Every structure is written in C-alpha cells, then in structure tokens.
C-alpha cells in the first residue's frame, strides 16, 4: 500500500505538488492518529461516566448544572 499523499500549494505561483509522505512523516501521522483515537475514546468514556453518575443520582444534566452553579 502506498503512503498517504501530502499536497503542497505555493500560493505565490499557484503551483500544486502532490507527493507521498516520507517514512518520517508517515510515522508522525500514525502517531498523531493514535493520539487522536485515544483522546476520542477518553472523551466517550468520560461522557459515559458522567451519564452513569447522573443516572445513579437520579438527576438530569440540567439539574446537575443548577446544583453546581
């Protein structure tokens, strides 16, 4: 499989160059993609934990906001 493509656009000359990522760029891209996936999973888990807590307390999110304001 070929590496993802990088587009370089020179706005002064309007020249556009499309090329494959280098190995270093690909490694950084994969690393960032893994970080983004972990961040999304953490956000999902946090939302689920908040929902579970609100359910155990028997209140809505709006009621919790009122209590904390």
Cα 27 to Cα 24: distance, rounded to the nearest angstrom: 5
Which pLDDT tens digit goes with each residue over 39-62?
A: 999 999 999 999 999 999 999 999
The two counts, helices (H) then strands (E), for the chain are 2, 2
Cα 59 to Cα 57: distance, rounded to the nearest angstrom: 6
Cα 56 to Cα 50: distance, rounded to the nearest angstrom: 10
Query: Model's pTM, two decimal places?
Result: 0.64
Q: How confident is the model at residue 31 (pLDDT cuts 50, 70, 90)?
A: very high
The domains of the chain are located at 23-68
Cα 7 to Cα 5: distance, rounded to the nearest angstrom: 7
pLDDT of 69: 87
């Amino acid at each position: 499989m070929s590496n993802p493509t990088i587009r370089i656009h020179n706005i002064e000359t309007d020249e556009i160059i499309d090329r494959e990522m280098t190995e270093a760029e690909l490694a950084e891209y994969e690393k960032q993609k893994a970080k983004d996936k972990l961040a999304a999973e953490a956000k999902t888990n946090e939302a689920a934990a908040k929902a579970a807590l609100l359910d155990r307390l028997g209140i809505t999110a709006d009621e919790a906001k009122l209590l904390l304001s």
